Amino acid sequence: MMKFIDPDHPFYRPLWVRLLIVISCSAWTAVEFYNGENTWGMIFLAVSTYTACVLIIFFKPKTETIEEAKPDDPT
């Protein structure tokens, strides 16, 4: 399955980045509907819904396993 947004990318880890993307898409949806552009409004409504689902509702960050580095020097 092709992903339009890769939620595993480190860019999407902070909550404020994900919220900003969803809010921006939603605001642009409102602009399109306000200007009477129903087709573009519906397109951006779908985009806003998709981003909200992928980045907010179903977002599960991968837990990275960090191996502790063992010192080479035994002292």
Give tens-digit pLDDT for 15-64: 999 999 999 999 999 999 999 999 999 999 999 999 999 999 999 877 76
Residue 61: the pLDDT is 79
Residue 70: the pLDDT is 57
Cβ-defined contacts of 47-54 (< 8 Å, 24+): 48/22, 50/4, 50/5, 51/5, 51/21, 51/22, 51/25, 52/22, 52/26, 54/4, 54/5, 54/7
Residue 62: the pLDDT is 79
* Residue 30, token pair as written in the block: 């409102």
Provide the pLDDT confidence category of residue 3 given band limits of 50, 70 and 90.
confident
Residue 52: the pLDDT is 96
Domain range list for the chain: 13-57
Residue 17: the pLDDT is 95
**Cα separation, 62 vs 11, whole angstroms:** 13
